[in-house]
Amino acid sequence: MPCAIALGVYSNPDYLKAEFMRLLLIFLMLFSLKGFAVSSEFTAEINQLETQLQQLENDPDSPFIEVYQQALHHIQEVISLREQAQDLRREIETLPQQLEQAKKSTPQSDSELPATNIAEDELQPLLVKTKARLIDLEQSRDELKRTLRDSDKYLLSQREKQSSLEQQLNSSVPATPAATQTTELQKLRDEAFRYKQLALESALEVTELEILALPGRTELALLNQKHLESSIQNYTQWINQAELRLQQANRAAAEKTLSQLDSSETDSNPVLQQALSRNNETAELIRQGLAETEKTALRRKQLEQQLQVIRQTYEAIQLQLDLGLGYTGSEVRKHIQQLPKTLKSTTTQNRLKELRLSQLTLSQPIQPPATEGLSAQQRTKLSELEASLSELTQEQRTLQQKQISELSQLLLIQKQFNLQISDSKALFNKHLLWLPSAEPITAQWPAQILSGSLTVGGELPHLLQPHFDQLASKLSLPISLFLASLAVAIFCRRYLNRRQPLWCKQLGNVSEDHISHTVRPLLYGPLVALPIPLFLYTLGRQLNGDDAPLQNLFYMLALISWLYLTVMQWLQQPYGLLQGQFSLPPSTTSTLKKRLRGLFWVNTPLIAILFLLDLSGSDIVTAGPARLTLLLITIGFTLFWISLRHTASQRLDSVDKSGFWSNISLWIGIIIAFNIAMAGLILWGYTLSASILIGLMFLLVCIGILAYLIFHLGRRWLLIEERKLHFAQALARRAEILSAREEQKDPPPPLQENFIDLQTISEQGTMLLKTVTTLIFLTLAWFTLGWTLPALDVLDTVTLWTTESAEEGVLSLITLKQIVFALAALTITFIAARNLPSLVELLILNYLPLAHGTSFAISTLLKYSLIIIGLISFLNFLGLEWGKLQWLIAAMGVGLGFGLQEIVANFVSGLIILFEKPVRIGDTVTIGGVTGSVSRIQIRATTITDWDRKEVIIPNKTFITDQLINWSLTDAITRVVIPVGVAYGSDTDQVTKLLLQAAEASNNVLSEPEPMAYFLAFGNSTLDFELRTYISSMDMRTRTIHELHLAIDQLFREHNIEVAFPQMDLHLKSNDADKNNDTDDKH
């Protein structure tokens, strides 16, 4: 009976559900019992703190709230950290057992995987599930790899954290001394401090347990990774077998379908022939699709294997770089050299589009053929053909879906392949300047050189023999191209030798000189030098793609020899391009030829030896002979530039040498210092970095030579055009003189050339030419050096100081890279502020309908705007924000109110002058007793050149606050007043006519407004007249007054008009009566 009752009870579903929930609750309580004990230890404190906080809700300004919150936060932190410590203890206890199980366990073998000889309809979904499982395994493996790669960094960070926590515990001081604990707030703060100490101790315990658990975790991860690699390999093999099985099954099914197509029976009816032809075409498309599908699958598998090898190499090198193990320069260079080219996925994408379009076409219904006129047997045959076509179409549609699937996978692999290549190149570009290839030289370096030389001597013959055998059978094309280019070179050389002396003699002769006389030697020079470089380049092309080092040797020799022979052709004396056309001094030409010849025959064999040593790949060769060869190449370049610097004082080009950028000696000195630094890098072991930088410097020098040629070619063209302009003007003047002689007239006056300013044309052309040349140089330099910029990311690891944002409180690191960019921004700013405004004014503003002086105001504002923007960028790179500068600005504001107010007043006045334009460049003004022409307007003061050619500097404030007379502000026309006084009795009408006649005779006096003469007053001694005339500009005022005075004096003399002057009559009276009286008295 009890058993029956028990069976009845346990058969009740509701009872079973309730019992299960009760057992699960008991299990969870037992599992969390220890954690509950930890949390219950602080339950009373938490409840008390929460109660106190609730009581203080009505008093938000109470100082107890912050202390209560801190204490509550520290308690919760202690609970969380102790739970973490318990989990870590359990993990440490179970790690030995897990390691033992991992060592005993074996990965899933092929026998445990499903068989591949099952039906195709069952194998296809199983293949999809297996691929999904493989993806999960690969993700787990990648995660384990990341964990193992970061384990050392994590251990280091945990030890740093442990040290920091110990330091905090040792340096912690209670909030108040024990002797002063009298208030409740002080007691509460001490209690919060105690909770904080508990939190620090718990954090230290967790950190120590993390350090203890890390070795076991790492060992377990290594074992799991090993098992995962084995499982992935087994899954990959099974997937390959399953795909091969499905591929064979698909081909068999397709062949079976195609075999059912009876193409042996023929019928003469065109409808049947058309249907049969369509079926045959569809069958042929299916065969082609099958072959394409197999080819695509094979290509995908090959790419997957290649991608896996590249990825493994990349991860190994990245791990070495992260850990700083060994000298990775050679490994990275070999990895980059072995990288294949980036795949072009456009073909795959286009094929996918074609297949999708074909799918749409196949989904449309087929138009049935016309059956009229067919017999019953023919109709039966046509029905069979239509049924067969339907089956073929369905098979074609299925095959195309498989093709789309394979091509989609191939496209995905191609994208991953290209992305991995980009990542590898980015890794190389980031570390190319910081990768040591060997250890710094020591006393064992001579032994390394000897040992490496012996190694190379034994390896090179075996390494080069297959390449020589390969080239020996492929010499026909290089020799043919060499002979063809040799014929062209001989023809061009003879042509230049015959024509260049004549072209040099025609320089300056307007009717015979032409720009083509310079372009032809410039272009024919590379053709004359082409045969040997073309032969070497073609030899390199004959080698296989796997022979990259040897191919690069031939390419480099071809480039160096072509450049050398071309420059030597241009340096021919005395009628070569540089001396005959660009006026290079003969001594400089001779020195350059001599130095270049020595550099070529010394460094070219060394460069060839360096490439041959690269074939070995041995570390001892890299550290010994290869380093010595690269060092000798660097020394050769250094000696070349040092010897060339002695001749830098002579004129290397016709550019003005007053500028910083045209200082040839300075630039050569920089190149010498660069080569010395490269020699130091080589000795230090950074041979890869040094070789790359030396190559980049070589390319920059070549770009500089190209910019030099472009500048002088453009300058020659400008000179030829200016000479033609002068010649045209001379012809016009000569024609006028001859015409005047024929008409027996006086020679005409000199030709007026005010309509075109020849000097301005030359300045504009020179400025534009310099700008174009600079842009070409910078563009080519960017394409040459742009890929090296990621190498500066390493400078981000060098932290100089830290800054904290005033608003967000975020800590920012100021690194060495930011300092480099800040200095670059400052340099670019001052270069742009110095050159860009004048360039904008010359090339843009002068062609706009702007008022007089507006272009100067715009260019000046542009200059100061560039300076302000550059300074702001400079300060931002240094981590300085407005919130940190506001106190400095406030202090400066106080200082401005006292000592700098005049400077600020002049600065603001300068801005007002630029915007309102009360004075402009070229205006004639009078201010403070100074009259002259405005020559410069700067931000603090304006310069006036008076009539004595003295420059008077006047603060800008004076122009705003004092009285200013601008003689040419809105109208340059000014009035000239000539006062004249004639004697009383003169004919006033005649005087008026003579004054007007004198004004009309002057070429400087304007006819509109017309001159006026007035009889103003009867003076004490004169009849006062005044002649009022107008002139076009202020600079003709003195000359016009002089001419009018001479004309008036001459006319008055001719008409007997006396120019009066003040007269005084003195009357002497004699008193004879008084004299007689005096005589009588004496008697």
Which carries the bigger pLDDT value, residue 61 or residue 630? 630
Beta strands 924-927; 964-966: pairing state: antiparallel
The number of residues in the chain equals 1083
Can you say how many angstroms the Cα of residue 1031 is from the centroid of all Cα atoms in its chain? Answer: 57
Residue 170: how many CB atoms within 10 A of its CB? 7
Distances (CA, A) of 1068 to 637, 678, 1021: 106, 108, 21
**pLDDT at residue 649, as a whole number:** 53
pLDDT-derived band of residue 751, with 50, 70 and 90 as boundaries? Answer: very low
Distances (CA, A) of 881 to 819, 871, 893: 16, 12, 18
**pLDDT at residue 261, as a whole number:** 58
Q: What is the DSSP letter of 349?
A: H
**pLDDT at residue 745, as a whole number:** 47
Most confidently predicted of 304-318, 669-683, 843-857, 926-940: 669-683
Most confidently predicted of 653-657, 884-888, 1025-1029: 1025-1029
**pLDDT at residue 875, as a whole number:** 81
**pLDDT at residue 36, as a whole number:** 40
Mean pLDDT value across residues 239-264: 70
Q: pLDDT above 70 covers what percent of the chain?
A: 81
Mean pLDDT value across residues 841-855: 69
Distances (CA, A) of 772 to 356, 520, 715: 50, 22, 12
pLDDT-derived band of residue 32, with 50, 70 and 90 as boundaries? Answer: very low
Q: What is the pLDDT of residues 128-144, one digit of tens each?
A: 888 888 888 888 888 88
Which carries the bigger pLDDT value, residue 107 or residue 592? 592
pLDDT at 20 over 50: no
Q: Cβ-count burial of 616 within 10 angstroms (0-12 exposed, 13-18 middle, 19+ buried)?
A: buried
- Sheet containing 1012-1018, strands listed edge to edge, beginning at the edge strand earlier in sequence: 974-982, 1023-1031, 1012-1018
Which carries the bigger pLDDT value, residue 727 or residue 159? 159
Mean pLDDT value across residues 1013-1027: 88
Q: Cβ-count burial of 814 within 10 angstroms (0-12 exposed, 13-18 middle, 19+ buried)?
A: middle
Q: 49: which 2 tokens?
A: 């703190």
Q: 114: which 2 tokens?
A: 């499903």
Mean pLDDT value across residues 162-176: 74
Cα–Cα distance between 633 and 698 in angstroms, integer? 12
Mean pLDDT value across residues 259-285: 71
Name the average pLDDT for the chain.
Answer: 79
**Which uninterrupted H or E stretch holds 1015?**
strand 1012-1018
Mean pLDDT value across residues 170-183: 57
**pLDDT at residue 219, as a whole number:** 85
**pLDDT at residue 27, as a whole number:** 37
SS3 assignment, position 203:
helix
**pLDDT at residue 545, as a whole number:** 60
The closest of 456, 433, 449, 453 to 695, measured between CA atoms, is 433
**pLDDT at residue 150, as a whole number:** 77
What is the rounded end-to-end Cα distance, in angstroms, of the chain?
203
pLDDT at 650 over 70: no
**pLDDT at residue 121, as a whole number:** 73
Cα–Cα distance between 78 and 702 in angstroms, integer? 68
**pLDDT at residue 583, as a whole number:** 83
Mean pLDDT value across residues 896-901: 65
Mean pLDDT value across residues 460-481: 86
Mean pLDDT value across residues 645-661: 54
* 630 neighbors 438 (Cβ within 8 angstroms): no
**pLDDT at residue 895, as a whole number:** 64
- Minimum mean pLDDT range among 51-55, 166-170, 213-217: 51-55
**pLDDT at residue 495, as a whole number:** 93
pLDDT at 772 over 60: yes
**pLDDT at residue 653, as a whole number:** 43
**pLDDT at residue 281, as a whole number:** 84
Mean pLDDT value across residues 80-92: 87
Domains of the chain in sequence order:
64-254 (no CATH), 273-362+382-431 (no CATH), 798-899 (1.10.287), 917-970 (2.30.30.60), 974-1054 (3.30.70.100)
Q: What is the pLDDT of residues 929-981, one digit of tens each?
A: 888 888 888 878 888 888 788 888 899 888 888 888 888 777 778 888 999 98
**pLDDT at residue 496, as a whole number:** 92
pLDDT-derived band of residue 738, with 50, 70 and 90 as boundaries? Answer: low
pLDDT at 166 over 90: no
* 521 neighbors 500 (Cβ within 8 angstroms): yes
Peptide bond into 979 cis (omega under 30): no
Tally DSSP H helices, then E strands, for the chain: 31, 10
Q: pLDDT above 90 covers what percent of the chain?
A: 15
Mean pLDDT value across residues 876-883: 71
**pLDDT at residue 1058, as a whole number:** 85
Mean pLDDT value across residues 846-854: 68
Q: 639: which 2 tokens?
A: 């000696």
pTM of the predicted model, to two decimals?
0.67
In sequence order, the 6+-apart residues with CB closer than 8 A to the CB of 235 are 108, 113, 130, 133, 134, 137
In sequence order, the 6+-apart residues with CB closer than 8 A to the CB of 421 are 310, 339, 340, 342
Which carries the bigger pLDDT value, residue 650 or residue 485? 485
**pLDDT at residue 107, as a whole number:** 62
Residue 1079: how many CB atoms within 10 A of its CB? 9
**pLDDT at residue 203, as a whole number:** 87
**pLDDT at residue 463, as a whole number:** 81
Cα–Cα distance between 385 and 379 in angstroms, integer? 10
* 410 neighbors 304 (Cβ within 8 angstroms): no
The closest of 607, 338, 603, 618 to 458, measured between CA atoms, is 618
